[in-house]
Amino acid sequence: MNDIDNLPVVREGIWLYAGEVSVRVRVLSSSETWGSGDYEDNDSIAENQAIPCFFLVYEMAGSPGNFCNISPNFLSLESAITAAEERFPSIQWQED
């Protein structure tokens, strides 16, 4: 499994929690999907797969640098960005 801290950031934005507290939101690129780890699941779900994907991560409000919230396995950059914009409607993406 990839170490989440070492995955490349492909997009980053800022969202204001409660309209006041800055929370960084990132889309990361991964060379593999995360599996469930559940032995009762089919191998294609239980095990990591060598399929390029994207993860959505964001900081805990009031704890800068603590990216403990992770949504893995988006199969396209567009789907990860859409998920971020739905979860954080007023996100301000940084320019490249």
Could you please report the per-residue DSSP string of 4-29? GGGSPEEEEEEEEETTTEEEEEEEEE
Which pLDDT tens digit goes with each residue over 36-51? Answer: 677 776 767 767 778 8
Q: How many domains does the chain have?
A: 1
pLDDT of res. 3:
78
Q: What is the mean pLDDT of the chain?
A: 89
Is 96 among the domain residues?
Answer: no
pLDDT for 57 beyond 70: yes
Is 72 among the domain residues?
Answer: yes
Is 52 among the domain residues?
Answer: yes
pLDDT of res. 2:
47
Query: In which order are the strands placed within the sheet that holds 92-93?
Result: 69-74, 53-58, 21-30, 9-17, 92-93
pLDDT for 1 beyond 80: no
Which structural domain range is residue 21 located in? 4-91
Confidence of residue 95 (pLDDT cuts 50, 70, 90): confident
pLDDT of res. 67:
92
